[in-house]
Each structure stands twice: as C-alpha cells, then as structure tokens.
C-alpha cells in the first residue's frame, strides 16, 4: 500500500521558490533544499524530481504568480496609459526598496541559467514575451483612446519598456540608494507623456 505524503507539496514548493530566489541555482545545494523544505531527500526526488526539475517548477510557480498581477494591472478597465505608468513606477519602487537584494527570480534566472540551460531560457523568454505583449496591448489601447500620441510605435515602445523594466531589476540588486532605478523609471515615464 502506498504511503501518503507527510508534507504539503505546495508548501514545500513555495519554500523552494524562496530559497532559489535568494541564492540562485548554483549556490543552492540539495542539502540546503532538504533543510529549507523540511523533508527528506528521497521525498524531494519522489515529489519533484532532482534539483533542476525542482528549480524549473519553482520558476514556473514564481512566474505564474508575478504574471497574474501584471496582467491584471495592465488589462483592467479604464485608461490604459496610467496603468503602464503605474507598472513602471512599481518596478522602480520594488527594486529600490528590495533590501534583501533578491531582484526578480526570472531576471536572476536569465543571468545565471539562460546561457546554458535551454528549458530555463525558454521560461525566461515566455515570461518576457507575456510582459511585452501585455504592455503592447495596453499601449495600443492607450493610443486608440487618445492617451498616447499617434506617432508613437506601441510595439517598439513595449520592447523598450520590457528592456528598461528588466534592467531596473538587475541594477536594483546593487543600487544601494535606488537613485539609478528611479532615474531610469523617470526617463521611461517621459516617453509615455
């Protein structure tokens, strides 16, 4: 007869997200995972597969949670341009206030894993495509409503904002006083005027 799990896999996965987000993939050992998740090594393997599979599941969970909020913010009713502006301001505020210097799990993965881990790189690209598409859609709505000048290119502007937002996440990891990220956000916001 099969034994029932003595732990909640969802709770364990949430703990894995936090650990990988704090330390990254390479700096997290299986012993660290066992300790943080509070379960036996065999249970980690039986439930999640190896360390890499657990990392990818943690990245998926993080991405799903973060993307849901962004999509909600950019696709809501009402004026679209203020929603885009608020997103830029939120990224800068979060990066400047990130005292633990964890940054964004997706961006961290892009820097650490994407060059040599195709499944991780695919997840990063999918996350960025979703953000870019949501930005482009909001900017197209803004343009249709007269909030964004007709000479602006929503496609190029969405790509620019994606790059600035991800750069804010990277720079925010080492920007002690937050001035760089706030200045970058302010310049991006000028393009949305």
pLDDT band at residue 3 using 50, 70 and 90 as cut-offs: low
Q: Measured between alpha carbons, how far is 106 from 170 in angstroms, rounded to an integer?
A: 11
pLDDT, residue 177, reads: 87
pLDDT at 5 (0 to 100): 59
pLDDT surpasses 80 at 131? yes
Q: Give residue limits of the domains in the chain.
A: 59-191
Q: Is the pLDDT of residue 145 over 60?
A: yes
pTM of this structure: 0.89
**Residues 6 or more apart in contact with residue 11 via CB below 8 angstroms:** none
Q: Is 31 a residue whose pLDDT tops 80?
A: yes
Decide if domain 59-191 falls under CATH 1.10.357.10: yes
From residue 158, how far is each of 81, 101, 186 by CA, in Å? Answer: 12, 26, 16
């Amino acid at each position: 007869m099969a034994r029932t799990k003595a732990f909640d896999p969802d709770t364990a996965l949430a703990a894995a997200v936090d650990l990988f987000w704090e330390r990254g993939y390479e700096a997290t050992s299986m012993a660290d995972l066992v300790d943080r998740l509070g379960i036996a090594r065999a249970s980690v393997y039986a439930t999640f597969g190896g360390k890499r599979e657990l990392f990818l599941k943690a990245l998926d969970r993080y991405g799903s949670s973060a993307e849901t909020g962004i999509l909600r913010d950019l696709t809501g009713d009402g004026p679209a341009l203020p929603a885009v502006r608020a997103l830029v301001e939120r990224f800068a505020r979060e990066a400047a206030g990130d005292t633990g210097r964890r940054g964004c799990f997706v961006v961290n993965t892009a820097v650490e894993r994407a060059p040599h881990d195709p499944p991780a790189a695919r997840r990063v690209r999918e996350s960025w495509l979703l953000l870019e598409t949501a930005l482009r859609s909001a900017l197209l709505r803004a343009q249709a409503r007269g909030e964004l000048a007709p000479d602006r290119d929503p496609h190029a502007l969405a790509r620019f904002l994606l790059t600035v937002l991800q750069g804010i996440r990277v720079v925010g990891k080492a920007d002690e006083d937050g001035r760089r990220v706030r200045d970058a956000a302010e310049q991006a916001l000028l393009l949305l005027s």
